Structure 1
Amino acid sequence: MKKYGMLCILCIVLNGYAQQNELSIFEALTEKTWKAEGNWGDGSKFKQEIIFTFSLDSTLVIAKSKGYIDKEQTVFGDRNHGIRKYNPNSNTIEFWEFDVFGSVTKGTVKAEGKNIYYTYAYGESTVTDLWEYVDANTYNYKVGDYQNGKWNQVYLSTQFNAEPILKAPFQFDHQSLVVTQLMKTGDFYRDVFGFEEIPHPEGKQGFRWFKMYGNSQLHLIKKEVADFKKNKSTHLCLATDDLESFIEKLMEKEITFYDWPGNLNSVSSRADGVKQIYIQDPEGYWIEINDAKH
């Protein structure tokens, strides 16, 4: 049983490595936004933007593309979500494209050097999309009937050019608050906002850590004296998709809330239309809750 178990683990590891290795042909496409424009053979316009990313375990390539989403070709928006996955049984890379119209395109992908070929059925025809490598930020792009290394007919010929995806230089990590009522204040954030309590990495006493969202955290630090003037302008702000339901929850728990001017149980509306309220935790720290979209 032990040998079998180790063999299973080894198979899983090797399988994951094989998938990652086969999908490495897409590495040059990631961390960029690829843009192309042109005209199909029938004169209709082509415009597309694509972003490629690897899944967390690197066994999938995820493609999100924008294009025209109306027959008149006047509305440009999210058009396709796609997946590329290595199939060890057939030793091929398979792909699926799900479009905004409810259609699914399925086919295979292969690489020849740095060139990438997609092959799939379209009606009664077999179509090939070619990403022909020019340089790190440029691919010639063709769509057509490609057989035995020859283009019998080209439906579209254009070029994809890349723009780097700009990342924020910093990511929000955590907010720390000094408190005198560690248990009461920690329970407040757990029960009112649903934050998940997580252990302090050193197991120290006098701390309560909470996961807010993603990797963002709230750290409460107990002190005998927390001498700090609580001003509403200094506050933690959290956004919710359902501010009305959150207000109902506050009322059920008999927690008072205020608008920005300080009116009891009132809601403020910012100039941009965002609605907001303010509450205080057991230590008196102010918290803004609004319905801003993220």
Structure 2
Amino acid sequence: MKFKFDHNNINVFNLEKSVTFYKEALGFEPVRTYEPDDKSFKLIYLGDGVSAHRLELTWLRDRTEPYNLGDNEIHLCVTVDDYEEAHELHKRMNCICYENYGMGLYFINDPDGYWIEVLPANR
């Protein structure tokens, strides 16, 4: 028996704002959308254009307040081929929330407060 990653899910408060952020900050594009007939929720799967892994954004129609992420001890991680260029982009976007110069990495946060670790691809 062999398992492989397919996707991760996060719930988002403002779907359009999140889709825009992930496109601008990471180049992720929508690859699939699902919405039931009653329109009680909407799923948008984002892809990086390279791997088969997807990030599923879930929006719930009846949600009236942002999510409480608690201690927010989970995160996503991406690698990038031009670390310096990515860092400059994220600096301009004002979304860098933590940097560890000694380890050569930094984190950005999305509109809901989820953290994304950014690593150089040649690490």
CA distance in 1 between partners of 2:27 and 2:10 (Å): 18
TM-score by length of 1: 0.35
Give the C-alpha shift of residue 228 in structure 1. 2.8
CA distance in 1 between partners of 2:82 and 2:20 (Å): 22
Q: Which residue of 1 aligns with 2:101?
A: 268
User: 1:57-96: CA deviations, max 9, x gaps?
Assistant: xxxxxxxxxxxxxxxxxxxxxxxxxxxxxxxxxxxxxxxx
User: 1:5-28: CA deviations, max 9, x gaps?
Assistant: xxxxxxxxxxxxxxxxxxxxxxxx
1:244 aligns with 2:81: no
Query: Closer, same or farther in 2 for the Cα pair 1:247/1:172, shift >3 Å?
Result: same
3-state SS of the aligned residue for 2:107? strand
Q: Which residue of 1 aligns with 2:23?
A: 190
Instruction: Tell me if the contact between 2:96 and 2:106 (Cα under 8 Å) persists in the aligned partners.
Output: no
3-state SS of the aligned residue for 1:185? helix
TM-score by length of 2: 0.78
Instruction: Tell me if the contact between 2:69 and 2:113 (Cα under 8 Å) persists in the aligned partners.
Output: no
Which of the numbers 175, 179, 182 marks the counterpart of 2:8? 175
Which of the numbers 51, 57, 65 marks the counterpart of 1:214? 51
Structure 2 portions without partners, runs of 5+ = none
Instruction: Tell me if the contact between 2:21 and 2:111 (Cα under 8 Å) persists in the aligned partners.
Output: yes
Q: CA RMSD in A?
A: 2.3
Sequence identity, in percent? 28
Instruction: Tell me if the contact between 2:95 and 2:110 (Cα under 8 Å) persists in the aligned partners.
Output: no
User: 1:16-57: CA deviations, max 9, x gaps?
Assistant: xxxxxxxxxxxxxxxxxxxxxxxxxxxxxxxxxxxxxxxxxx
Query: Closer, same or farther in 2 for the Cα pair 1:187/1:220, shift >3 Å?
Result: same
Q: Which residue of 2 aligns with 1:279?
A: 108
Q: Which has the higher contact order (CA 8 A, sep 6+)?
A: 2
Bigger CA radius of gyration = 1
Report the structure, 1 or 2, having the larger strand content. 1
